[in-house]
Structure 1
Amino acid sequence: MFHKEGYKIMTLTAILLIAINIITYTLINTYWIKFSILVLSVILFLLIIQFFRNPTRRTEINSRNIVAPVDGKVVVIEEVYEKEYFKDKRLQVSIFMSPINVHVTRHPVGGRVKFSKYHPGKFLVAWHPKSSEENERTTVVVENEVAGEILYRQIAGAMAKRIVNYAEEGQEVTQGSDSGFIKFGSRVDVFMPIGTPIEVALNQKVKGGLSVIGKIQD
């Protein structure tokens, strides 16, 4: 199963690669060159389609759980001052996605979208300290009665040239459902209330919609 954001790119890539191979077989007589171009074309196409894969995830709905919004590796767990929306201290968990990870973004909690904003910006590497403030990014806040307000931020990286965000203010969303896509590598930051018990460790690999990264206390 593939994400809808990849259909156009996969189709154009297939057409281009087929055209290149037709031209190659027409103009070049050397067999090993033609075969090499064919093999490289198949490898490139497989790399493209694996990037846009969208595996089915059955999230266990629990209002106290905050699930990972994306697949990747936990690279930050720290208290920070969140200055865009909360304007106070929050507990930040950041997940870095490599090009081989699934890049679907999922809602970490269910509830109502209170805030959704796109920011144009730079394309610093995703682990750069300034990337969360200076890179192209989107900020989304979802609220429910148990978890309160949970903020997550899609951040473009050096390779990610487009962020797709489906969250709209006032929209009711389900935990683990599709909230967007980031093309070609980046990271997502999640901001939780101070004191939220963290269920992951640095460098731990997580799966979007499945791995619990934090639990809201009673």
Structure 2
Amino acid sequence: MTSLDKPELGTSTVRWRFPAVHPEGYKFAAISAGLTLLLFWLLPDLFGWLGVGVTLWVLAFFRDPVRTTPLRAGAIVAPADGLVTMIATMPPPRELIGEGALSAEPVVRVSIFMSVFDVHINRTPIGGTIARVVYISGKFLNADLDKASEENERQHILVEGRDGLRIGFTQIAGLVARRIVPFVKPGDIVAGGQRIGLIRFGSRVDVYLPAGTSPQVLLGQRTLAGETILAIAGRDERIEGVAQ
């Protein structure tokens, strides 16, 4: 590559654009819009305008923005938008343990809580092959509770990179969420940061980092799915920060 081929530092060709709405949201927006028209017809206009607000919120909930995923060796990116609410050391779920999967030894788990205002499209932490997808029905406790990882409706996904790196993560339905919608199945090949599913209306995603890997995010930090680097595989370097 010659110097003429390299982009100049500080030169920007990126323009903001309004996020698209994922097709999964169209039916909910249509239902909300229909109810809004009914409210305008049957009740005072105030209720109709409240319906307009709800319809706009539904469209915003299913927004699907474009994300730029860093291409860095060993990079493990956030699978979800939201707040890092828990960083703990524990064994992976039994559904992700076994031959050709994860070890039963405790590893670092990073939990990202998605409020109803966050983008709910989830993305794969690394590129590779989807090795497992295990859905488990369950309760709908507050997804911010630690026991939600064992009692709530959830879906475990294992992805194996070309270099053999395996990352397991779990989509957990929350208090308001009522369905996990998968976009992938075992055997699918995905790029790092590719969309793999969504959880409707508030939830959590747990990511199990490889042994000997420390998170590069902090409690209280916000992440962007497909963009924020959670960790670098094999890097055991603790970071510190301050809330301000």
* TM-score, scaled relative to structure 2: 0.82
Distance, in Å, in 2 between the alignment partners of 1:97 and 1:110 is 23
Are 1:52 and 2:69 an aligned pair? no
Query: What is the percentage of aligned positions where both structures have the same residue?
Result: 38
Q: Which residue matches 2:178?
A: 161
Distance, in Å, in 2 between the alignment partners of 1:58 and 1:147 is 24
Q: Which residue matches 2:132?
A: 115
Are 1:198 and 2:215 an aligned pair? yes
Query: Could you tell me how far 1:60 is from its partner in structure 2?
Result: 2.1
Structure 2 unmatched ranges of 5 or more: 1-19, 98-103, 236-244
Q: SS at 1:82's partner residue?
A: coil
Query: Could you tell me how far 1:147 is from its partner in structure 2?
Result: 6.2
Query: Could you tell me how far 1:36 is from its partner in structure 2?
Result: 1.2
Q: Which residue matches 2:49?
A: 39
Structure 1 unmatched ranges of 5 or more: 25-33
What is the number of equivalent residue pairs in this alignment?
209
168 and 56 in structure 1: CA distance in 2 versus 1, 3 angstrom threshold = same
1:151 to 168, 187, 190: 168
Superposed, which structure 2 residues align to 1:181-196 within 5 Å?
Answer: 181-196=198-213
Are 1:11 and 2:19 an aligned pair? no
Query: Could you tell me how far 1:47 is from its partner in structure 2?
Result: 1.6
Aligned-CA RMSD value: 1.5
Q: SS at 1:127's partner residue?
A: coil
Q: Which has the higher contact order (CA 8 A, sep 6+)?
A: 1
CA contact (8 A) 1:120 1:137 kept: yes
Q: SS at 2:126's partner residue?
A: coil
Distance, in Å, in 1 between the alignment partners of 2:116 and 2:29 is 16
Q: Which residue matches 1:207?
A: 224
Partner AA of 2:23 in structure 1: K
Partner AA of 1:18 in structure 2: L
Higher alpha-carbon deviation: 170-179 or 74-83: 74-83
Higher alpha-carbon deviation: 190-199 or 115-124: 190-199
Q: Which residue matches 2:9?
A: none
180 and 83 in structure 1: CA distance in 2 versus 1, 3 angstrom threshold = closer
Distance, in Å, in 1 between the alignment partners of 2:164 and 2:232 is 9
The structure with the greater share of residues assigned to strand is 1
1:72 to 82, 102, 106: 82
CA contact (8 A) 1:2 1:53 kept: yes
Q: SS at 2:63's partner residue?
A: coil
CA contact (8 A) 1:96 1:126 kept: yes
CA contact (8 A) 1:5 1:52 kept: yes
Query: Could you tell me how far 1:7 is from its partner in structure 2?
Result: 1.0
Partner AA of 2:22 in structure 1: H
* TM-score, scaled relative to structure 1: 0.91
CA contact (8 A) 2:128 2:160 kept: yes
Q: SS at 1:88's partner residue?
A: coil
Distance, in Å, in 1 between the alignment partners of 2:224 and 2:131 is 25
